[in-house]
Amino acid sequence: MPMNTLPPVAKSFFTFCKKCNADRYHVVLAHTSSTSAKIKCEICGSQKTYSLPKASTRTGKPLTGAAAAKREQTMTSRKSSHKNEYDMLMGKGDAAVPYNMKQKFEKNQKLDHSKFGMGFIKEAMNDKIEVVFSDEVRSLIHNRK
């Protein structure tokens, strides 16, 4: 989606959700102006107004030299460490269990989610599981009766 146009009504797009405190898919409910739209988070259901990003006007200097190299190294190591963990966990020979929020899951199980794909349960609490997917670690609900 180009950054200078709003997504069409009833379409989903990826943006930050303040309530979930994560990047989530949101559905466009209505266009309120030429630069803003009413959207709804597909995960938590919170509604908010989305505005097109304004043209950036930088007053500070861009990072150069050692600071730029440090930031690039941090971002690269973060991505590679997550990818390495995902590859290592998915290499185990267990069969994947389809995700259903009513089912109870255990730690170290493979999970097949309809939206996020294959994942591995890293942590299992009473009503929530932490799942490592190929793109990020996500919290999912489980054991709902």
Q: What is the pTM of this model?
A: 0.46
Please report, as a single letter, which amino acid is at residue 121. I
Are 89 and 45 within one domain? Answer: no
Specify the higher pLDDT residue, 24 or 60. Answer: 24
Q: Is residue 111 situated within a structural domain? A: yes
CA atoms of 136 and 134, how far apart (whole Å):
6
Q: List, in sequence order, the alpha helices (H) in 23-140.
A: 65-90
For residues 112 and 69, the answer to whether their CB atoms sit within 8 Å is no
Residue 20 belongs to what domain range? 12-51
Does 57 score more than 60 pLDDT? no
Q: 10-19, pLDDT tens digit by residue?
A: 898 888 998 9
Calculate the average pLDDT of the chain.
Answer: 84
Q: 99-132, pLDDT tens digit by residue?
A: 999 999 998 889 999 998 888 998 999 999 998 8
Percent of the chain with pLDDT over 70: 86
Residue whose token pair is 């929020």: 101
Give me the number of domains the chain comprises. Answer: 2
For residues 90 and 118, the answer to whether their CB atoms sit within 8 Å is yes
Are 90 and 137 within one domain? Answer: yes
CATH code for the domain in which residue 22 is found? 2.20.25
User: Tokens for 25?
Assistant: 């898919």
